Structure 1
């Protein structure tokens, strides 16, 4: 190590100090860092707005809205049920009519077979 340091024109102590970067003034100073950038605070660190108490009038208004909505929904559902019931009745009537026709044809065919 002394020969390499001498080849560079330094003593062993100077070469060691240069490699380690241990200059007396540099060792005592902390490395320079830029100041931290300002950040927005997180949402949970913000103070919450005070809760506004709900009034009786507001509760009544909400209840009236809810009741009106339920009434409209029930009326709509009733109309839908009536339409479906009418469709089912029409389908059942058609099926009964077709079955009655088949029964008449079967009875006529049976009468022809048994008649001499």
Structure 2
């Protein structure tokens, strides 16, 4: 259960951010803005529940933010054809390494 909540926070935040991209398109439906609000509200709810279940704020926020950045960049490439070059890919790899280091550091 301890990883279900932060994963829910990450996926909700990524979905909200991608909906924000859709909402910013000319002629976009207003429903996209509702999806943005629901997505971020859901993400913060999951994040709060993660903290309530005992994960420290540094670990929870670090994993949430870093994973969100990496997944959003990958999803934006796949869904919207946004650039994802070698330097950006290296950054994603570093983010993954940083998240692992945060988690391993928290275990000690």
TM interval, shorter chain, is: under 0.3
Which structure shows the higher helix fraction? 2
Question: TM-score under structure 1 normalisation?
Answer: 0.24
Greater Cα radius of gyration, structure 1 or 2: 1
Higher RCO, Cα 8 Å, sep 6+: 2
